[in-house]
Amino acid sequence: MGDVVTLKKLRPKDKYKGKTLCKSGFHKWEVVQGNPFDVKQGRMVTRYRCARCGATRTKAR
C-alpha cells in the first residue's frame, strides 16, 4: 500500500504573493554589496536588487 499524498490547491493570492507589486513597478530595492566600480563607465556605481523578484538595476554616483 502506498502513502497518501495530499494535493494542495494554490489560491491565486498565494501563487503570486509578492510578485504583483513588482509587475506594477513597485520593486523593493536593496543595495548589493560588492565591486562598486564599473570599468565600462569609468566611475563608481551602486547596484540594487529587488528583494521580491530578483531584478537588478545600477545607478551612477
CB proximity list for 10: less than 8 A, separation 6 or greater:
none
This prediction has a pTM of: 0.61
What is the distance between the alpha carbons of residues 42 and 23, in angstroms, rounded to a whole number?
Answer: 32
Higher pLDDT, 33 or 41: 33
What is the distance between the alpha carbons of residues 52 and 28, in angstroms, rounded to a whole number?
Answer: 7
Q: What are phi and psi of 45, to 5 degrees?
A: -130, 155
* Domain coordinates in residue numbering, the chain: 14-60
Strand (E) positions, 1-61?
Answer: 29-32, 37-38, 43-50, 56-60
The rounded percent of the chain whose pLDDT value lies above 90 is 21
Q: What is the average per-residue pLDDT within 10-29?
A: 81
- Check pLDDT > 80 for residue 13: no
- Check pLDDT > 70 for residue 18: no
